[in-house]
Chain A
Amino acid sequence: MRLLRMKPGHGEIVVAEGDVDVPEEERMLIEAFRRELDNGLWAAVPLEERGGRRRAELVRDFSDVPRDAERVIFFPRAAGGAR
């Protein structure tokens, strides 16, 4: 699983990468996940359904991330734009 973060002037960067079935690597992923959320980012898991339809889930806890997810994408929180 790779944790990716969108970054201005760069595109995405890899925040952490590891195998969720390896306890040490899972711990590292969980810590990185919490750090990004603590920094005020949203986390989304892009998913593909049968038939090719694409969708996404916003997750607030690492336990909500499907175990077989390949990527979690962190991006800045949405805020109301110009009034």
Chain B
Amino acid sequence: MLVALGIAGVLFLVLAFEAARPTLRGTWARARARRAGPAAPDFDPGRERRAEQRARELLRTCVSEREWEMYRDLGLISVAGTVGAEPAAYAYLIYPHRPIVAYVPQTRELLSEYCVAFRDDERPFGSGRLPDADDVLAKWLALAADERALVAKANMHLPGRQVDPAVVRADLARLAEWARARSLARGTVRAA
């Protein structure tokens, strides 16, 4: 009697497992997908290039001619800080999709990094990442309109947290050379 009950129990367990197997397999696959993270966004290089072209045109019409040429030639914009004495004792380097870096123009001393993000929660095409020029323009608009508020929103760190200080110093050297060449080309500085 006990043997018969045991066999029946085993049979019941096997049948129950077979019946539940498709459901278990689906649950297992979903759990694995969750662990693997979100699906890769629908990235289309051509679309992103066109988006960047549009964004550049918008940036060009919003910032000064000098700032636009800076972005076009160097991929960044330097803007003077507005808090405190005139001329400003500090400035910001605006990079696309990297923290804003505050520095002292006269000495090129790096002061701090302000990590701030402008991500679109609607995520069209699977990504909330703005085109590079739009990200720079968003930072420029926010800084130009309300520097204190943007700085307060950002996570502030010492230099080197996310942006390599050597890269920033190299960018500042490129920027100085660029400004010199631009001035020479415009005849506002005599060649040494």
Contacts and interface: CB of A to CB of B under 8 A. Distances in A.
- Main secondary structure, interface of B, reads helix
- Main secondary structure, interface of A, reads strand
Nearest to A59: B145
A52 B65 CA distance: 9
A79 B62 contact: no
Interface residues of B, number: 49
Contacts of A55: 144-145
A11 B118 contact: no
B171 interface: no
Nearest to B134: A6
29 contacts: A6-B118, A6-B137, A7-B130, A8-B127, A10-B47, A10-B125, A11-B55, A11-B134, A12-B55, A39-B122, A44-B142, A44-B145, A52-B64, A52-B65, A54-B67, A56-B145, A58-B145, A73-B62, A76-B118, A76-B121, A76-B130, A78-B116, A79-B153, A80-B155, A81-B99, A81-B116, A81-B154, A81-B155, A82-B115
Nearest to A7: B124
A56 B51 contact: no
Contacts of A6: 55, 58, 118, 120, 130-131, 134, 137-138
